[in-house]
Amino acid sequence: MDYKETLNLPKTDFPMRANLPEREPAWVQEWQEKRLYERLIEATAGRPLYVLHDGPPYANGHVHLGTALNKIIKDMVLKSKLMAGYRVPFVPGWDCHGMPIEHQVIRELGSGARALGQLEIRQRCRAYAEKFVNIQRAEFKRLGVLGDWERPYLTMSPKYEAQIVRVFRELVEGGYIYRGLRPVHWCTVCGTALAEAEVEYKDHVSPSIYVRFPFVGSAEDAAALARREEDRAVLAERVRRLFVVIWTTTPWTLPANLAVCLNPHLEYVALDVGGDLYIVAERLADAFLAELGRTAAARIPVDLKPLDGRDVFQHPFLDRAVRLVFESHVTADAGTGCVHTAPGHGYEDFAVGQKYGLPVLTPVDGAGRFTDEAGVFAGRLVFEANDDIVRLLEQKQHLLKGEQLRHSYPHCWRCKQPLIFRATEQWFFRVDHARLRERALQQINGVMWIPPWGHDRIYNMVEHRPDWCLSRQRAWGVPIPAFRCVQCGEFVFDPATIRHVEQVFAEHGSDAWYELPTARLVPQGTRCRCGGSEFEKDQNILDVWFDAGVSHVAVLEERDELKWPADLYVEAVDQHRGWFQVSLLTAVATRGAAPYRAVLTHGLILDEAAKKMSKSLGNVVSPEEIIRQHGAEVLRMLFASVDYTADVSFSKGLIAPLLESYRKIRNTCRFLLGNLYDFDPARHRVSVENLPELDRWMLHRAAEFNQRVRRAYELFQFHLVVHQMVNFCAVDLSALYLDIVKDRLYTAAAGSYPRRAAQTVLYELLDTMVRLMAPILSFTAEEVLRYVPGRSVDSVFLLDFRDDLPRDDALFARWEKLFEVRAAVTKALEEARQADRIGHSLDALVRLYATGGIGSLLGEYLNELPTVFIVSQVEWDESLPPEAASPLMPELRIAVEPARGEKCQRCWNYSESVGCSATHPGLCRRCVEVVEAFSHG
RNA sequence: GGGCGUGUAGCUCAGUUGGUUAGAGCGCGUCCCUGAUAAGGACGAGGUCACUGGUUCGACUCCAGUCACGCCCA
């Protein structure tokens, strides 16, 4: 007789090989067909609401690893909250306006772009954005992300655009909006002002020049500069050879120079270089001389403060007096400590200019060409004029040193060309109006930042940020709802006018701004203060960050299933400057509070060497590639397994080890399923109090595991979930409990109490695990659930995490001790195996001896020990010598020898009872009983 | 240059208020098993806790500085 037939070996159709790339799309389709998201919303009516507000990715290009990480984290948060008992509506969104799309569209149109009007460009941009919304939607769904994909929010939808205008109106009402002439980063190629977020710093080669400005004060003025009495005469005598020296890397801004700025807290000296006197900061004097390759015959300490605010210098090549000003932004890090100041071309220059009443001179137009104000350079492109300016300085003998310098310089984020700073008329959001900055800082203190350093990061940024430049000179965006009076040139942007635009946009979308005549865009009878009634539309659009920055109004307030404020925002660390901040500012200004209760940030995806991924470096890995080869599940698990609060260093090398872990979890589930093929929980479940102690130990252990994992989910520490899951499967289950309990499952009679008890535990383990893994391993959990006997729901997401697993602390402590002994025994077994005395552990008889607590515990459990050790026999032997002490447990003595009796052909245990039955000579007594019952039954 | 981070075995991570020979899983090596089998089990070898200095009886843990990498800003 083949006794194998009488065993209850595992049986399951659950495939060992996951084959994820092929199987996953079917799940995605099934979730959609079954309307899983909608069903979950219905099924969770009445539960506490948990709102994670989706930050809109830009509708341009395919989903990359960064966007995938972000959405997967959100999905894991939402699913874990769902299964923890919340209702979790998720409305995904896209950011649709803005320069990147417009730029791309224009590039694709090539020379044809010029022939098109703004409206036609906008239509193409809209089509472009729609295309990528659809692409990305499919890609996010493919990742297993659950949400209201059929009704996302789009910043280009008419309703959303109307909300953008509405918030702008509320800001106008609150007095936050103003027009101003301000230097801004300006791209001469794109012809637009850039927001801080659109500026990229990278290396650029600029001229680096030292220029002297002649002192034009009187001899008396010069003498007054002396700190020491004895220097007065020299200064007075050499007044026509006295100069202040500046250093700059932007010679083209010199035509706009109006002042030289010194630091009030620095010491200055006049260096005697070949008879000329050069004023520089004392701390930079040596470095300056080294640059010139000269030495100074004398260093005369000077104090220029008496001349503060006076026009005591002469422009090096223009007929213009240059003012001496003081401000503490001047540093002694580089240059001369005397700073060339052009209020139209630098932010700090502008600030100093305001303080001293200087005009905002900007002799440069939007295309980067000098205007007539720049004299001989008129019509020249600024960067190209650099060399001529340097040459002119040389001619005038005011150039002290000129060379090329490679340094970090602002560039346009789209066209990658170097930017200039240029004063233009722009629309601004005033951060210091109505104590907004203070109130925003207060709100920051009330938000939970995860990880906690997020607080300091955004706090410092908000504390120091400048006003927000809201206007862009582009076509693809929401127009600034303002009208210029043709008669007087003043702007009309009062609440009533804007409200009208809101209504028009809600109905027709913002294209109406370009389609409709101005008369239809202003309310009837609108008049300027000057009495004028004829208007023209403002040509600016709003910064795309403004679009995203009002999503808390346009989405949270507008969608019935959501609420304001959100419970959580989840984005990458760069958003402290971006979305977190713009959302905060618009919310505090218009709603008086932060739009989020908590903010979770994750790092960025870097390459193997922790370097940024970029197309130019050729180190970009696409999610699509990973999905195609290994499945989305692997990407989900990978992102879950790392500590995302730091940047994630991604390499394909991470995948192979991860697959091992995945297989461990999958195979453990498969083993559990395989042993439950004949188990019906409704009929066969054994009650906890009737379970053997080992089984209760297992349930206690599972309860602890369950608690730890749930806690990790609460803290959004998914990497702890993954590690605990793998460890639990590998250590507690595979290597320990399941290994031990195999004997019972396989050899006991199918319907016997010991087997049903083990199956009860297996069932609980599987039921616990399938729920705990679902937020991360969504596909696998769903697949496993299909095979779970007696399942009551058709999606794992209709189940909640458990909290009802039984614990028994005293029992648990005893068994933990027994497992320590087990470790000592397996070590001894291994030694015996190495010495060729046994092969399988069942070949062994283990002799034990111990005194004290361990001794009495082992005495109590002596009958259980063979099972626990997976050996054939365990005997108590007081004669074991001290040398037999275990290295792991000195109070325990162990000896291993071959087991007694014969190997039972059925259960493979050695026993002296083998042969006790004439019908089954190869079997032990235990197996004889089972087999006889089997053949009769 | 400033603000905020990150740096523990080949990989991914633990390491509680500073306290005995720094842990886990995977991988690796050797062995066992062939009734979870493109599976399973055992044992073992791997770390100057980025570096330097300091505080302390004692520091991966606290302080200061340096280096590398990242984000944000100048």
Contact A564, A500 (CB under 8 A): no
Q: Residues A556-564: what's their mean pLDDT?
A: 98
Rg over alpha carbons for chain A, rounded to the nearest Å, is: 39
Nearest nucleotide to the CA of A572, by C1', is B71
Q: Residues A4-17: what's their mean pLDDT?
A: 96
Q: Which residues 570-589 in chain A have a CB closer than 7 A to strand B?
A: 573-574, 576-577
Distance A355 CA to B65 C1' (A): 39
pLDDT for the residue numbered A443: 98
pLDDT for the residue numbered A274: 82
Mean pLDDT of chain A: 91
Nearest nucleotide to the CA of A611, by C1', is B69
Nearest-angstrom CA–CA distance, A901 and A894: 21
Q: What confidence tier does A772 reach under pLDDT thresholds 50, 70, 90?
A: very high
Q: What confidence tier does A280 reach under pLDDT thresholds 50, 70, 90?
A: confident
pLDDT for the residue numbered A195: 60
pLDDT above 70 (res A196): no
pLDDT for the residue numbered A643: 95
Q: Residues A195-209: what's their mean pLDDT?
A: 72
Distance A823 CA to B22 C1' (A): 21
Q: Judge whether residue A11 contacts strand B, using its CB and a 7 Å cut-off.
A: no
CA distances from A140 to A25, A131, A775 (A): 12, 14, 15
3-state SS, residue A571: strand
Helices (H), A465-521: 495-508, 512-515, 518-521
Q: Judge whether residue A643 contacts strand B, using its CB and a 7 Å cut-off.
A: yes
Q: What confidence tier does A937 reach under pLDDT thresholds 50, 70, 90?
A: low
Nearest-angstrom CA–CA distance, A474 and A469: 14
Distance A781 CA to B71 C1' (A): 35
pLDDT for the residue numbered A197: 53
pLDDT for the residue numbered A107: 82
On the question of a cis peptide bond just before residue A565, with omega within 30 degrees of 0, the verdict is: yes
Which residue from A12, A14, A1, A4 is spatially nearest to A746, judged by alpha carbons? A4
Please tell me which residue, A574 or A393, carries the higher pLDDT value.
Answer: A574
Helices (H), A339-452: 347-356, 382-395, 436-446
Residue A757 CB neighbours (<10 A): 23
* Max Cα-Cα span within chain A: 131
Q: Residues of A176-196 as b/e, b for ≥16 C-beta within 10 angstroms? A: bbebeebbbbbbbebebbbbb
Q: Residues A221-245: what's their mean pLDDT?
A: 81
Q: Judge whether residue A726 contacts strand B, using its CB and a 7 Å cut-off.
A: yes
CA distances from A678 to A2, A8, A740 (A): 21, 9, 20
pLDDT one-digit tens code per residue, A866-924: 999 999 999 999 999 999 999 999 899 999 999 999 999 999 999 999 999 999 999 99
Q: Which residues 830-849 in chain A have a CB closer than 7 A to strand B?
A: 830, 833-834, 839-841
pLDDT for the residue numbered A1: 64
Q: Residues A594-598: what's their mean pLDDT?
A: 98
pLDDT for the residue numbered A250: 85
pLDDT one-digit tens code per residue, A637-672: 999 999 999 999 999 989 999 999 999 999 999 999
Contact A497, A504 (CB under 8 A): no
- Tokens coding A387: 């060399």
Q: Judge whether residue A460 contacts strand B, using its CB and a 7 Å cut-off.
A: yes
Q: Residues A49-78: what's their mean pLDDT?
A: 97
Strand B footprint nucleotides (protein C-beta < 7 Å): 1, 3-7, 10-14, 24-27, 31-44, 69-74
Distance A655 CA to B48 C1' (A): 31
Nearest-angstrom CA–CA distance, A749 and A755: 7
Q: Judge whether residue A784 contacts strand B, using its CB and a 7 Å cut-off.
A: no
pLDDT one-digit tens code per residue, A308-333: 878 888 888 888 888 888 876 666 56
Q: Judge whether residue A642 contacts strand B, using its CB and a 7 Å cut-off.
A: yes
Rounded to 5 degrees, φ, ψ at A885 are -60, 140
Angle between helices A753-773 and A738-747 (to 10 degrees): 130
Q: Judge whether residue A708 contacts strand B, using its CB and a 7 Å cut-off.
A: no
Q: Which residues 659-698 in chain A have a CB closer than 7 A to strand B?
A: 660-661, 663-664, 667-668, 670-671, 674
Q: Judge whether residue A735 contacts strand B, using its CB and a 7 Å cut-off.
A: yes
pLDDT above 60 (res A117): yes
Please tell me which residue, A720 or A282, carries the higher pLDDT value.
Answer: A720
Q: Are strands A192-194 and A471-472 parallel, antiparallel or unpaired?
A: unpaired
Q: Which residues 307-336 in chain A have a CB closer than 7 A to strand B?
A: 333
Q: Judge whether residue A715 contacts strand B, using its CB and a 7 Å cut-off.
A: no
Nearest nucleotide to the CA of A671, by C1', is B36
- Tokens coding A413: 């984020």
Q: Judge whether residue A652 contacts strand B, using its CB and a 7 Å cut-off.
A: no
pLDDT for the residue numbered A209: 85
Contact A213, A398 (CB under 8 A): yes
Q: Residues A134-143: what's their mean pLDDT?
A: 98
Q: Residues A81-87: what's their mean pLDDT?
A: 98
ipTM score: 0.96
Q: Judge whether residue A201 contacts strand B, using its CB and a 7 Å cut-off.
A: yes
The percentage of chain A sitting over the pLDDT mark of 70, rounded to a whole number, equals 98
The beta strand positions in A311-414, using DSSP E, are 313-314, 321-326, 338-341, 399-412
pLDDT above 80 (res A231): no
Nearest-angstrom CA–CA distance, A701 and A761: 11
Helices (H), A275-371: 285-292, 347-356
Q: Judge whether residue A604 contacts strand B, using its CB and a 7 Å cut-off.
A: yes
Q: Residues A293-313: what's their mean pLDDT?
A: 80
- Tokens coding A539: 């040509």
